[in-house]
């Protein structure tokens, strides 16, 4: 890895800060970066930022040769809060599982996975692997039920009054804030959906209302729900008595031997910062309001658990534009796997790498994806020419690979826009697609579609799932005799010039020259003449005529691509030859 030029992007600056802090906290130990996700339902594409921000920082640290681990905490021991709408194989009967750990809720009908949590983790883990994101995944169910946190739980119970006192400071503040009109009332639905997957949903501090405060909540050993109330606890014997509001069960257990419950979220998170020695963990805006888990956690980790809060920038919301026909099996929100069906992993990485965490951005599922790809290809050319700005070049380098090496890419990167047009016109026929792609550049013909994959497959998937029906191209089966018969002499002459030039210009560049050149020649200008306003008008009206004759619409795919796709003989016929 070339380290001769210092990086100046946000990732590099955060890595500097994290390495310095890790050296202060635990010299010589691997640097710990962390993400947390709750598999409470489909994991929204926006939640990928929870993983991407620490990934990029951890990856930069590894590139510098410093040992670093990226923990991905699955908050799968959280309670099942509600049945998400629009998930295939799930109906209202799943509400009987509300209050159980996510790992104890059955997977949607037809799923190959053993639980709700596993069902929703699997596509995210597959997406992370495809994107080259290495994590050490931790199941909080496994941690809690195997007693890993036993000492921490007993400690938190002993310290419950001090914990309660810290929480109380913020409860008062939260109440005061709630009494004022909120400035942040408007949270759009997608944002809420995103917050669902982030763990913030369970902003539970264990507050018991009138009863004594306990930071620990058992899951009922009979019905598995967490609708339990701790009624007594003895610090010396660790005997804990609870009753279950859901099924009426009550019992006394020995907490020193009992592994069927968890610390409430606001205590759980700072406990784990201390336990795992996390130095870097960003979180979403939903965690950062007054009295929220991040703010309270910072007090608890230092005052109670003797640790330090991680460096944790707040990251802004990631939106989606488009999303036509988004599968209802995904609950109406796209997940990372949906994005990877229509774009290559390096491009998706780039969208996260090029924006600072506090900048919100949108991921295009609509026609804007073509512009995104154009920008990406333009950046690749600049980087190859050594002309990219340092921060842009850094983002590019972070997108195409990791410390472990480059990600697989497409050998022959034809413009996504053009591939989408070709697939649209050929309705995905491989033979026709290869014929067209082989004619684009006769000096360097595409000989095998594999040269253009996986980008070709992503564009094909975009056409099949996202391209609006009204934007689809249908080449006319027969010439438009009526329109051809109504043409003026000038138009007929232009079409003749175009038809006669086809054979000599049959490549993408050649046809580009030809379609722009015909109106120039008709205007008596040289083929390389600078366009005048009059010429531009003539070109526009000529192009509109070609579209009408070829596809019966005023606009369509770029003309050179369209002509190649339609084929010379058929073009001649449709243009009255």
Q: Going by DSSP bridges, is the β-strand pair 361-364/318-321 parallel, antiparallel, or unpaired?
A: parallel
Is residue 223 involved in binding Zn ion (CB under 5 A)? yes
Q: What is the chain's alpha carbon radius of gyration, rounded to the nearest angstrom?
A: 30
Sole residue written with tokens 């009550």: 250
Q: Which is nearer to Zn ion, 227 or 483 (CB)?
A: 227
Tell the smallest beta-carbon distance from residue 421 to Zn ion (Å): 60
From 62-70, 241-249, 319-327, 447-455, give the range in contact with Zn ion by CB under 5 A.
Answer: 241-249
Residue whose CB is less far from Zn ion, 12 or 104: 104
∠ CA 389-391-397, nearest 5°, is 100
Query: Cβ–Cβ contacts within 10 Å for residue 568, how many?
Result: 16
Q: How far apart are CA 201 and CA 269, in angstroms?
A: 13
- Least distance (Å) between residue 228 CB and Zn ion: 7
Residue 94 CB, nearest approach to Zn ion (Å): 18
Question: Any idea which residue has 């014929």 for tokens?
Answer: 435
Q: 253 pairs with which residues across the strands? A: 240
- Cα 516 to Cα 513: distance, rounded to the nearest angstrom: 5
Instruction: Quote the tokens at residue 498.
Output: 């175009």
Choose the binding region for Zn ion from 14-22, 63-71, 236-244, 298-306 (rule: CB under 5 A).
236-244
Closest contact distance (angstroms) between CB of 77 and Zn ion is 17
Q: What is the smallest separation between the CB atom of 249 and Zn ion, expressed in angstroms?
A: 5
Stretch that binds Zn ion, among 15-23, 223-231, 301-309, 529-537 (CB under 5 A): 223-231
Query: Whole-number minimum distance, CB 275 to Zn ion, in Å?
Result: 29
Range in contact with Zn ion (rule: CB under 5 A) among 71-79, 239-247, 486-494, 502-510: 239-247
Task: Identify which of residues 252 and 474 has a Cβ nearer to Zn ion in the complex.
Answer: 252
| Structural contact between residues 308 and 302, judged by C-beta atoms closer than 8 angstroms | yes
Residues 6+ apart with CB under 8 A from 436: 422, 426, 564, 565
Residue with Cβ nearer Zn ion (23 or 251): 251
Q: Is 220 in the site for Zn ion (CB under 5 A)?
A: yes
Whether the Cβ atoms of residue 251 and residue 239 lie closer than 8 Å to each other:
no
Q: In this complex, which beta carbon is closest to Zn ion, that of residue 223 or of residue 403?
A: 223
Q: What angle do CA 119, 270, 62 make, to 5 degrees?
A: 70
Q: Shortest distance, CB of residue 217 to Zn ion, whole angstroms? A: 12
Contact status: 476 vs Zn ion (CB under 5 A) = no
Question: Please, which residue, 157 or 244, has the CB nearer to Zn ion?
Answer: 244
Spell out a b/e string for 10-22, using b for 16 or more CB atoms within 10 Å of the CB, else e: bbbebbeebbebb
Stretch that binds Zn ion, among 19-27, 240-248, 415-423, 557-565 (CB under 5 A): 240-248
Of how many residues is the chain composed? 577
Closest separation in Å from C-beta 242 to Zn ion: 10
246-305 residues near Zn ion, rule: CB under 5 A: 246-247, 249
Q: Which residues lie below 8 Å from residue 69, measured CB to CB, with a gap of 6+? A: 30, 31, 32, 33, 58, 136
Total residues contacting Zn ion by CB under 5 A comes to 7
What is the distance between the alpha carbons of residues 294 and 310, in angstroms, rounded to a whole number? 10
CB of 247 to Zn ion, least distance (A): 3
Q: Residue 230 or 244: which CB sits closer to Zn ion?
A: 244
Minimum Å distance from CB 325 to Zn ion?
Answer: 42
Nearer to Zn ion, 252 or 389 (CB): 252
> Whole-angstrom Cα distance, residue 346 to residue 407?
7
Which tokens go with 3? 């380290």
Region from 12-20, 38-46, 219-227, 557-565 binding Zn ion, contact rule CB under 5 A = 219-227
Q: Which residues bind Zn ion (CB under 5 A)?
A: 220, 222-223, 244, 246-247, 249
């Amino acid at each position: 890895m070339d380290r001769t030029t210092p990086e100046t992007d946000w990732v590099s600056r955060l890595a500097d800060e994290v390495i310095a802090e890790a050296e202060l906290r635990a010299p010589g130990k691997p640097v710990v970066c962390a993400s947390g996700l709750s598999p409470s339902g489909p994991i929204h594409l926006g939640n990928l930022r929870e993983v991407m921000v620490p990934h990029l920082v951890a990856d930069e640290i590894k590139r510098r040769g410093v040992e670093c681990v990226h923990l991905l905490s699955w908050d799968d021991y959280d309670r099942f809060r509600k049945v998400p709408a629009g998930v295939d194989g799930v109906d209202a009967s799943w509400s009987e599982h509300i209050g159980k750990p996510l790992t104890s809720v059955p997977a949607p009908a037809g799923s190959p996975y053993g639980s709700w949590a596993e069902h929703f983790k699997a596509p995210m883990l597959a997406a992370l692997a495809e994107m080259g994101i290495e994590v050490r995944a931790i199941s909080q169910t496994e941690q809690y039920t195997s007693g890993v946190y036993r000492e921490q739980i007993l400690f938190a119970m002993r310290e419950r009054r001090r914990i309660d006192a810290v929480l109380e400071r913020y409860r008062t503040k939260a109440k005061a804030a709630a009494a004022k009109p909120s400035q942040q009332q408007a949270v759009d639905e997608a944002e809420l959906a995103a917050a669902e997957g982030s763990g913030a949903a369970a902003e539970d501090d264990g507050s018991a209302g009138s009863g004594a405060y306990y930071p620990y909540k058992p899951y009922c050993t009979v019905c598995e729900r967490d609708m339990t109330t701790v009624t007594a606890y003895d610090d010396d014997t660790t005997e804990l008595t609870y009753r279950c509001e859901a099924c009426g069960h009550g019992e006394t257990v020995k907490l020193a031997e009992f592994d069927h419950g968890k610390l409430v979220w606001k205590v759980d998170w700072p406990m784990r910062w201390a336990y795992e020695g996390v130095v870097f963990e960003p979180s979403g805006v939903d965690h950062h309001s007054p009295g929220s888990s991040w703010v309270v956690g910072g007090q608890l980790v230092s005052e109670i658990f003797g640790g330090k809060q991680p460096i944790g920038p707040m990251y802004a919301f990631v939106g989606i534009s488009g999303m036509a026909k988004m599968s209802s099996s995904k609950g109406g929100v796209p997940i990372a796997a949906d994005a990877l069906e229509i774009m290559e992993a390096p491009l998706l990485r780039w969208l996260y790498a090029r924006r600072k965490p506090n900048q919100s951005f949108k991921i295009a599922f609509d026609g804007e994806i073509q512009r995104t790809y154009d920008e990406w290809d333009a950046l690749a050319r600049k980087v190859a020419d050594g002309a990219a700005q340092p921060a842009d070049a850094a983002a590019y380098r972070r997108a195409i690979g990791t410390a472990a090496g480059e990600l697989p890419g497409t050998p022959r990167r034809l413009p996504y826009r053009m591939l989408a047009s070709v697939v649209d016109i050929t309705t995905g026929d491989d033979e026709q697609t290869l014929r067209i792609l082989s004619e684009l550049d006769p000096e360097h013909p595409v000989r095998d579609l594999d040269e253009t994959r996986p980008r070709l497959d992503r564009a094909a998937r975009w056409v099949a799932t996202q391209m609006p029906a009204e934007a689809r191209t249908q080449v006319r089966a027969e010439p438009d005799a009526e329109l051809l018969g109504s043409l003026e002499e000038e138009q007929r002459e232009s079409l003749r010039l175009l038809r006669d030039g086809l054979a000599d210009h049959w490549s993408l560049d050649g046809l580009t020259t030809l379609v722009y050149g015909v109106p120039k020649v008709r205007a008596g200008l040289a083929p390389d003449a600078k366009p005048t306003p009059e010429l531009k008008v003539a070109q526009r009206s000529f192009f509109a005529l070609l579209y009408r004759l070829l596809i019966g619409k005023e606009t369509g795919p770029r003309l050179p691509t369209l002509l190649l796709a339609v084929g010379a003989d058929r073009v001649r016929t449709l243009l009255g030859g």
